[in-house]
Structure 1
Amino acid sequence: MGREVSIGIIGLGGMSRFHIQKLGEVPGARIVALCDVSPQALEEVGAQLEVSEEKRYSSIESLINDPAVEGIVSVTPNDSHAAVLLACMEAGKPLFAEKPLTRTLEEAAEVLAFYRTHPIPLMINFSYRNGPAFQFARQFVADGKLGRINHLFVQYMQDWGSTVKKTPFLWRFDEAITGTGVLGDLGSHMIDISEYLTGSRMSELQAMLRTIVPERAHPQTGEPIPVKVDDFACFNVRFEDGAVGVFQTSRNALGCGNQHEVTLYGEAGTLHVSTLNDRQAVWTYPKEDGSGTITETIEVAEEKGINPWREFVGLLRGEQVATPQIAVLEDGYRNQLLLEAVVQAHHKGAVISVKDLQA
């Protein structure tokens, strides 16, 4: 075990509790400071982790500038992503941040410009890169076992926003906080994983966004609140290598708890991976005599995946990160650019060239 490292956590919502759990499994990782707007959350988590009261902050800047904090894990709503990134760069503090990079492309451009003059060790948590089956698929493609990829299908389906679930108006439905809806939340993962697995970049796309549930109840009063962000999104993409991709994501897919999957259709066969079992890959390929196909389920060892919390702790110790597969700021910026391309394609009802958007 290496030396102990001191970590500060910004944001103490549900996803943050998962990060805290995973950091607790990394030898030498010690959470020494917390930040949240909720005094109740600070008290609860602070007591659980035995973080002293003077290290429980309500101000992002106060935690980031605490000299006892070596690195930051930020798990906040989208509207504070840019502020956390910029403050960490200003203070020179390494950061492990949730996706999407920022709320808007304009914010992402500001962050990228500042990063170029104030670089810090930085990891963006596009978490599905980490899964063993997804890592297997990336290597499978890189080794040329699929041959040329002709087309791919990517979907990310959840059902917690369905009408029958009666989910109230949460921050993920608030345009001022989230920017886009299911597109920025789940669609950002689909965009990242498709370029990551194929090794090719999106060049042009067309899209359609929809709000299936147009209003939701205020969580306290029950009064209806209009929903101005999408809860369904679909888009078609052409990649630079000629492959075509079909994408869909929804919060209204009954029976889908957390179903993120990719099917790659290549010249040599078809490869399918899914979060429904991220230790299996399904490989379909032709028989040697051409009489049909064989479908093989390949078991993938857990250690083939990536542990980003262990990688971050290694980063704080000054060790070389064990894998270059972790997303960095430039990956986050590109993801934000492609999210904006989807939005523009929807509004214009036209095919959008990514190159034109970059210009």
Structure 2
Amino acid sequence: MGMIGGGPGAFIGPVHRIAAELDREIELVAGAFSSDAGRSRAAAEAYRIDPERGYPDVAAMLEAERARPDGIDFVSVVTPNHNHLASAKAALAAGVPVISDKPMTATLDEARELAAVLGRTPVPYALTFTYTGYPLVREMRERIAAGALGTIRKVVVEYPQGWLAGEAEGKQAEWRVDPARAGAGGCIGDIGVHAFNLAEFVTGLAVTEVLPDLAAVVPGRALDDDCTVLLRFQGGARGVLLASQIEVGELNGLRIRVYGETGGMIWRQESPNAFTWHRLDGTTELVRAGDASLGENATALTRIPGGHPEGYLEAFANLYRDFATVLRGGRAPMLPGLTEGLRSMVFIDTCVRASAEGACWTELTL
């Protein structure tokens, strides 16, 4: 694996590295970790790889690695959003598969441009919508698809954080509130898009219309930091998406609740090793990681016995395991890719525009 981004001070780069290498199917061996040659070399040393394979830019990495007998097999894009398009395009032009941090790009126009490139270049491409890698999230999806809740009626997905309730200080905060680097959406593009993707993934239903109310609550902030979006799904289900980065005291409280004719299911990211299943007859089941009742998919993604918690890094690793399967010619139908990437960018763009225009019901159209 070659990494684009993830240099000194980065949060998500080391996460990608740990997750990719967890199952020993992938090894980080090179990277264009920073646009500064010295910092890129320093990052290579920090990752304990050959400093000569810490390149000053993407083009240099792709050219040098192509000439090596042990060159990279794919790249992982972990830069701020504004570099996603250029990084992915460069790799794809060289015939190198890409797995990218979300969102797909900084803007919808860029996403459509990248989709056009992928249409001409049939090279594997995936996105790390991390929460789709949790075993019990996939178990919920499969049980709902099998009819466990009957017809879906209501979906509530929440993603509260509080770390941007004050001044945006530090590398990780500063680029997320900067339109030039984050793109059109702030909170909606950083975590709201995770909530949107999770709602569609778990229910198997596409969102058809949104009624958004996005706000920049912190004075002087150029991008939204608090979002409320009403949802309409195919088939008639209603929903609400709440995403905020100004809820003081909240950490990473992603939660999804799905209610149907015959029951409801609830999963919380901060307690990811179980979900609750309420039935219409008044009974409740706690479905836990490692349970004998779990399906083949969830069981295969669980590495240790029940009662030994697995979480964020393992979910991330499951996406990398899926990607490795695809690179070897296999299938990984739950791995997010182009379709999910485009839909997420349409969601961000539609919410930003509709909220600015007065928050009216607006269709999601690709």
What TM-score range do you get, normalising by the shorter chain?
A: 0.7 to 0.9
**Is 1:24 paired with 2:56?**
no
2:278 & 2:340 partners in 1: Cα distance? 31
Kindly indicate whether residue 351 of structure 2 is the aligned counterpart of residue 342 of structure 1. Answer: yes
Q: Could you say which residue in structure 2 is the equivalent of 1:221?
A: none
Q: How far is the alpha carbon of 1:46 from its aligned partner?
A: 1.5
DSSP-derived class of the 1:170 partner: helix
Task: Give the corresponding residue for 1:154.
Answer: 157
- Alignment partner, residue 277 of structure 2: 283
AA at the equivalent of 1:150: R
Residue 57 of structure 1 aligns to a residue whose secondary structure is coil
User: Structure 1 residues 58, 303: CA separation in 2 closer, same or farther (over 3 Å shift)?
Assistant: farther
- Aligned counterpart, 1:51: 49
Q: 1:324, 1:202 → 2: CA distance?
A: 20
Question: Residues 212-247 of structure 1, C-alpha deviation per residue, up to 9 Å, x if partnerless?
Answer: 112xxxxxxxxxxx4200111111011111001101
Q: What's the CA shift string for 1:98-139, capped at 9, x where partnerless?
A: 110010011111111121111211111111101122111101
1:250 aligns with 2:244: yes
In 2 relative to 1, CA 304–255 (structure 1 residues): closer, same or farther, beyond 3 Å?
farther
Give the match for residue 201 of structure 1. Answer: 206
Q: Which runs of 5+ in 1 are unaligned?
A: 1-6, 215-225, 288-292
Question: 2:319 matched to 1:308?
Answer: yes
Offset of residue 170 of structure 1: 0.7
What is the CA distance between 1:52 and its match in structure 2? 2.3
Identify which of 175, 187, 197 aligns with 1:182.
Answer: 187
**Given that residues 323 and 335 in structure 2 are in contact (C-alpha distance below 8 angstroms), is that contact kept between their aligned partners in structure 1?**
no
Is the 1:136–1:300 contact (alpha carbons within 8 Å) kept by the matching residues of 2? no
What is the identity percentage for the equivalent residue pairs of Structure 1 and Structure 2? Answer: 27
Q: Is the CA contact (8 Å cut-off) linking 2:2 and 2:29 kept in structure 1? A: yes
Relative distance call for 1:281 and 1:255 in structure 2 (3 A) is same
- Name the TM-score, length of structure 1 as normaliser: 0.87
1:154–1:262 contact (8 Å) kept in structure 2: yes
Output aligned runs, 1:65-144, within 5 Å. Answer: 65=63, 66-67=65-66, 68-144=71-147
What is aligned with 1:297? 286
Shift of the alpha carbon at 1:38?
Answer: 4.5
- 1:148 maps to a residue whose letter is T
What letter is aligned with 2:52? E
> 1:203 touches 1:238 (CA, 8 Å); kept in 2?
yes
What is the root-mean-square deviation of aligned Cα atoms in Å? 1.8
Instruction: Tell me whether 1:265 sits opposite 2:259 in the alignment.
Output: yes
- Matching residue's letter, 1:11: G
Which whole-Å CA distance do the structure 2 matches of 1:231 and 1:40 have between them?
34
Q: What are structure 2's unaligned runs of at least 5 residues?
A: 291-297, 302-314
For residue 326 of structure 1, the aligned residue among 335, 341, 351 is: 335
On the 8 A contact 1:159/1:250 being kept in 2, the answer is: yes
Q: Note if contact 1:160-1:167 (Cα within 8 Å) is conserved in structure 2.
A: no
CA distance in 2, matches of 1:237, 1:209: 14
Structure 1 residue 333: deviation in Å? Answer: 0.9
Are 1:236 and 2:216 matched, yes or no?
no
Structure 1 residue 273, shift from structure 2 partner = 0.7
SS at 2:109 equivalent: helix
Amino acid at match of 1:252: I
Contact preservation (8 Å) 1:152, 1:243: yes
CA separation in 2, counterparts of 1:40 and 1:63?
15
Distance 2:150 2:229 in 1: 25
1:249-289 CA-partner distances (Å, limit 9, x unpaired): 011122221111100011101110110111101111133xx
Contact 1:136–1:304 under 8 Å retained in 2: no
Q: Structure 1: how far apart are the matches of 2:254 and 2:39?
A: 30
SS of equivalent residue, structure 2 residue 250: coil
Deviation of 1:312 (Å)? 2.5
**1:26-45 equivalent positions in 2, closer than 5 A:** 26-35=23-32, 36-39=34-37, 41-45=39-43
Q: Which amino acid aligns with 1:155?
A: E
92-101 vs 305-314, greater mean Cα deviation? 305-314
In 2, Cα distance between the equivalents of 1:136 and 1:259? 20
Higher strand share: 1
| Aligned counterparts of 1:166 and 1:73: Cα–Cα separation in 2 | 27
C-alpha distance 160-46 of structure 1, shift in aligned 2 (>3 A): same
